[in-house]
Chain A
Amino acid sequence: MTPPIKRDKPWLMRTYSGHSSAKASNELYRTNLSKGQTGLSVAFDLPTQTGYDSDHPLARGEVGKVGVPIGNISDMAALFDQIPLGQMNTSMTINATAAWLLALYVAVAERQGATPAQLQGTTQNDILKEYLSRGTYIFPPQPSVRLITDIIAYTVKHIPKWNPTNICSYHLQEAGATPTQELAYALSTAIAILDAVRDSGQIGAEGFEQVVGRISFFVNAGIRFIEETCKMRAFGEMWDQLAQKRYGAQSEEMRRFRYGVQVNSLGLTEAQPENNVQRIVLEMLGVSLSKKARARAIQLPAWNEALGLPRPWDQQWALRMQQVLSFETDLLEYGDIFDGSPVIAAKVKSLVEGAMAEMARVQEQGGMVQAIESGYVKRQLVTSHTERMRAIERGDLKIVGLNCYRETEVSPLTGGVDSGIMKVDPRAEREQIERLNAFRAQRNATEVKAALANLTETARSGANIMPASILCAHAGVTTGEWSQTLRDIFGEYRAPTGIDIPANDDSRGARAVAIRSQVTQTGAELGRPLRLLIGKPGLDGHSNGAEQIAVKGRDVGFEIVYEGIRLTPEQIAKAALEEGVHLIGLSVLSGSHVEMVEDVFNQLDQVGLKGLPVVIGGIIPESDAALLKERGIAAVYTPKDIDMNGIMVDILNLIRKHHELPPVAAI
């Protein structure tokens, strides 16, 4: 009889989820755990991530939509009801308000009877990449780095099994980064953060190795899975060197590159969405094939990623992909299958060299924080993404079903009453606000006041923010109150948009030139150059689409006003008036498009711009597109509309139509 084959332990399997309310999300988590999921990954809604209570005007339309709303300790307790935190491994995708959500987590664990030392999990807590991609930053870079530092210092001392920060290259790839850029910017971020922890003096030299050992990463894996395998090996080598040389980490254990993964979603398509299943599986290979560089935790998007939020069944399908790979295949039976391959070694070497060169450029500018503040890094990302978009548009970068092999049968997957996506009950927002009000009514106002005064004092003094935050959690402070206290002290920030990049070669192409001449011509007919306002209303931080439209618009001769993410409808209407724009283009991907459009129209009315053409782009289900058009939206664009030149011609013709000029001939 052959002895049983020794298999490696599989990675942690998670599903990024949360919606509507703490109670609904708790039920979902418990079902997911019963299906064999081994860890939790909490998605918070945008108000929670950006530090607003559910009843704040900026939260309108966003409460419970893309994640769970957590406004105070009672929500957090409901979220983990019957889930023993002493035994769970919980990953929380939380950044600007990470200290607060961790404080709530610790407070709930304490109420459950668990000690901080037992807690295991991760706070994403990489605020630097928020400025570059993810968009849920609140404060300027300096105080943000301080918050990151405080969480690291606190957990290393009190919650030793916690991963206090997950340095993210994932979101950089989602904003267009190449593998080299991912390596360079993630590691430059690690340097900025570790330097800050060291310089804060909170951890002595002897404990510093421990800090290095607690740093983990959250990376991306794209469809070019061989290159991605090499990228992961490069990450491991570079981190090992950095930990040893710059931070003097001696033990190999402390220098190990520990990472979790979410595979690429930017390349998942709205067109023929069933093809996304192949993509997701292939992407998973990039982070699992090489044992030496295998992920510690994996979460996968669902086949309907580009359509809207996944339903439980969609998420189950994604979880099963991981289970099939780890339990049915022989992947976990072998050592590293790439060791000794010269092809792999050469590719790894070239990635390392490219990344080192870019890291040197960042260091020359004074480091990652400075390179972010000056807009340098963001411009590099927008440049890469622009090149990617142009390659798709030209057809050089093939995406099956999107720019080639487009003929298709009708998909049975997108039929059905829910058109294949999850719809959050619109009552969720109102109910959450009711719960919040009830919570406020029953808490002890004096205790809350004292806890907030203590928080203010701590923030000013520079002492570690965690103990004061945990006190706030117990006292019944709300997410909005905690954040506003720090907003008042640290101030707020707006990150560079990165769109001020030189024109791409394609803008010299025949079609772009032809469009440009029509744009100029129409400008002359109307008396002045054509102006577009690209607006991102609400808390949505998805900026890729807006950036690409802005750059393209500039390249075909429009004057573009774009102020970045998170504007109120009022600010958008005000800017449209002051800037004398000919058309407004909104971009909304977070699902709050109906509310946002309604509010923008109301505001336009108020400033006297009723009738100004408005178009919208983003994740907009077909049924909503019809509704928006009824309300007066002139055109709706979604991810399948990759012909950016075509969009520009449309916009030009909408402006012409508004001024009663005939459309230009097809270009």
Chain B
Amino acid sequence: MTRTALPEPAALAFAVSARDRLALAQALNLLDDRRPAARQCAAAFLEALPAEKQEGGGHLIGITGPPGAGKSSLTAALIQVWRRRGLKVAILAVDPSSPISGGALLGDRLRMHASGADREVFIRSLACRGEFGGLSAEVWPMSLAMLAAFDVVLVETVGVGQKEIDVSKMTDTTCFVAQPASGDSIQFLKAGIMEIPHVIVVNKEDIGMAARKTLSELKTTLGRRTDADGWQAPALSASAALGSGIEALADALDSHRQWLLERGQFAARRRRCQAEWLVKHLREEFGRYGINRLGGEAVLFAELTDAPRRSPIAAYDDLRIRILPQD
């Protein structure tokens, strides 16, 4: 027997919900494991996680923005605020991998170092291995596992244009971090290339003028626009370096969660996230052909958001079987 023997799914799910850190680490390893037997085990594990946390509990946040904008530094600062508020925090940090070697340097952890000894903070890095836009296919299932044990789960990804901010479709609340003096994000917003995030924050306000200017431009661009659900995104400014504006940022993120809850949209959004993940995953594997075989995108989304809760892996395997010609 090799030492990578698969865990017993129900016991693992139980231990994860009881916030056993070693169990969570093993669960994340399992969700990363591509061997067929591991996939089955992972599906059973996800199925065995208690439903409440996944449908209505916790807060799943995406943080995205251009390289070097300060996503990790802001995350570090947010962690401190959340911890002071008594919340337990898990982070999934997605870094690009080397196109040449397939290897990766997972560097976001460094900036979140201050939480390095806190047992109520759990940070897992992920290499986005080429596929899945700026995301990694493991992000959604891993988020579910983390939600079972932590109050706030935050996913960091690099993103500027449309494709890269896909994280916004797989989280409750998305925060876009803008780089002062860089017009790119504003252009993308204006042109409608980039979907409007739920919260926009201009980081590095400590550098002064440039940050203030970017903030006011963003405010003008956003105007009174709302997203499809009617949420109007606030634009804030902060400095991860000075720790300024972080409480307000945490508040803004939480307002969006409250807003979803008050309007009874929270569970629906989580289902939508899973549907988005499934469709994206199918598109990666089968292209438009696959989606069409299942009746096209609109039909598929309707079907998936209505369906009873399933683990994403099991749901995916079912869809796959429906696409693949039977022999």
| B123 contacts A556, C-beta separation under 8 Å | no
In the bound complex, residues from chain B placing their C-beta under 8 Å from that of A520 are 102
Q: Mark A338-356, 1 if CB is under 8 A from B, else 0.
A: 0000000000000000000
| B21 contacts A580, C-beta separation under 8 Å | no
Q: Can you list 13 A-B pairs, Cβ within 8 angstroms, ordered by A?
A: A494-B111, A499-B107, A500-B107, A528-B32, A529-B32, A529-B129, A554-B98, A557-B101, A567-B116, A579-B106, A579-B125, A580-B25, A661-B2
**Further pairs besides A567-B116, A570-B117, A577-B21: 17, Cβ < 8 Å:** A494-B113, A503-B101, A519-B103, A527-B4, A528-B33, A551-B105, A559-B97, A560-B105, A561-B125, A563-B110, A563-B116, A570-B116, A574-B116, A575-B116, A577-B25, A578-B123, A580-B25
Question: Given that A528-B29, A554-B98, A660-B2 are known contacts, is A560 also in contact with B109, CB under 8 Å in the complex?
Answer: no
In the bound complex, residues from chain B placing their C-beta under 8 Å from that of A578 are 21, 25, 122-124
- The docked-state distance in angstroms from the alpha carbon of A541 to that of B303 is 57
In the bound complex, residues from chain A placing their C-beta under 8 Å from that of B32 are 527-529, 580
Question: Given that A555-B103, A563-B109 are known contacts, is A574 also in contact with B3, CB under 8 Å in the complex?
Answer: no
**Which of chain B's residues 156-207 have a Cβ closer than 8 Å to chain A?**
none
Asked if B307 is at the interface (CB within 8 A of a chain A CB), the reply is no
Please tell me the size bucket of the interface on B. 35 or more
- The docked-state distance in angstroms from the alpha carbon of A492 to that of B241 is 10
In the bound complex, residues from chain B placing their C-beta under 8 Å from that of A609 are 22
**Which of chain A's residues 540-574 have a Cβ closer than 8 Å to chain B?**
550-551, 553-564, 567-568, 570-571, 574
Asked if B127 is at the interface (CB within 8 A of a chain A CB), the reply is yes
| B104 contacts A559, C-beta separation under 8 Å | yes
In the complex, which of the residues B2, B68, B113, B129 contacts A563, with contact meaning CB atoms closer than 8 Å?
A: B113
Interface of A toward B, CB cutoff 8 Å: 140, 374, 492, 494, 496-497, 499-500, 503, 507-508, 516, 519-520, 524, 526-529, 550-551, 553-564, 567-568, 570-571, 574-575, 577-580, 607-609, 658-661
Asked if B321 is at the interface (CB within 8 A of a chain A CB), the reply is no
In the bound complex, residues from chain A placing their C-beta under 8 Å from that of B114 are 492
In the bound complex, residues from chain B placing their C-beta under 8 Å from that of A608 are 22
Determine the residue in chain B with the shortest Cβ distance to A531: B106
- The docked-state distance in angstroms from the alpha carbon of A633 to that of B158 is 37
Question: Given that A555-B98, A560-B106 are known contacts, is A524 also in contact with B34, CB under 8 Å in the complex?
Answer: yes
In the complex, which of the residues B38, B107, B123, B127 contacts A529, with contact meaning CB atoms closer than 8 Å?
A: B127
- The docked-state distance in angstroms from the alpha carbon of A575 to that of B93 is 13
Asked if B137 is at the interface (CB within 8 A of a chain A CB), the reply is no
Q: Which of the listed residues A508, A516, A559, A568 has the most CB atoms from chain B within 10 Å of its own CB?
A: A559
Asked if B35 is at the interface (CB within 8 A of a chain A CB), the reply is yes
Q: Which of the listed residues A556, A578, A607 has the most CB atoms from chain B within 10 Å of its own CB?
A: A578
| A554 contacts B124, C-beta separation under 8 Å | no
Asked if B218 is at the interface (CB within 8 A of a chain A CB), the reply is no
In the bound complex, residues from chain B placing their C-beta under 8 Å from that of A557 are 101-103
In the complex, which of the residues A492, A524, A555 contacts B101, with contact meaning CB atoms closer than 8 Å?
A: A555
Report the minimal beta-carbon distance from B240 to chain A, rounded to whole angstroms: 11
Asked if B324 is at the interface (CB within 8 A of a chain A CB), the reply is no
Asked if B28 is at the interface (CB within 8 A of a chain A CB), the reply is yes
In the bound complex, residues from chain B placing their C-beta under 8 Å from that of A558 are 103
User: How many A-B Cβ pairs are below 8 Å?
Assistant: 124
Q: Mark B57-91, 1 if CB is under 8 A from A, else 0.
A: 00000000000100000000000000000000000
- The docked-state distance in angstroms from the alpha carbon of A537 to that of B105 is 19
The 10 closest A-B pairs by CB, nearest first: A527-B33, A554-B103, A608-B22, A571-B116, A528-B32, A580-B29, A557-B103, A559-B104, A503-B100, A527-B35
- The docked-state distance in angstroms from the alpha carbon of A524 to that of B123 is 24
| B101 contacts A556, C-beta separation under 8 Å | yes
In the bound complex, residues from chain A placing their C-beta under 8 Å from that of B241 are 140
| A526 contacts B103, C-beta separation under 8 Å | no
- The docked-state distance in angstroms from the alpha carbon of A516 to that of B124 is 24
| B103 contacts A564, C-beta separation under 8 Å | no
Determine the residue in chain A with the shortest Cβ distance to B110: A563
Report the minimal beta-carbon distance from B107 to chain A, rounded to whole angstroms: 6
- The docked-state distance in angstroms from the alpha carbon of A580 to that of B129 is 17
In the bound complex, residues from chain B placing their C-beta under 8 Å from that of A529 are 32, 102, 104, 127, 129
In the bound complex, residues from chain B placing their C-beta under 8 Å from that of A579 are 106, 109, 123-125
| A658 contacts B3, C-beta separation under 8 Å | yes
In the bound complex, residues from chain A placing their C-beta under 8 Å from that of B2 are 659-661
- The docked-state distance in angstroms from the alpha carbon of A508 to that of B3 is 33
**Which of chain B's residues 105-164 have a Cβ closer than 8 Å to chain A?**
105-107, 109-111, 113-114, 116-117, 119, 122-125, 127, 129
- The docked-state distance in angstroms from the alpha carbon of A567 to that of B113 is 9
Q: Mark B1-23, 1 if CB is under 8 A from A, else 0.
A: 11110000000000000000110
- The docked-state distance in angstroms from the alpha carbon of A607 to that of B20 is 10
Determine the residue in chain B with the shortest Cβ distance to A562: B105
| A607 contacts B38, C-beta separation under 8 Å | no
Q: Which of the listed residues B3, B104, B114 has the most CB atoms from chain A within 10 Å of its own CB?
A: B104
In the complex, which of the residues A497, A516, A571 contacts B107, with contact meaning CB atoms closer than 8 Å?
A: A497
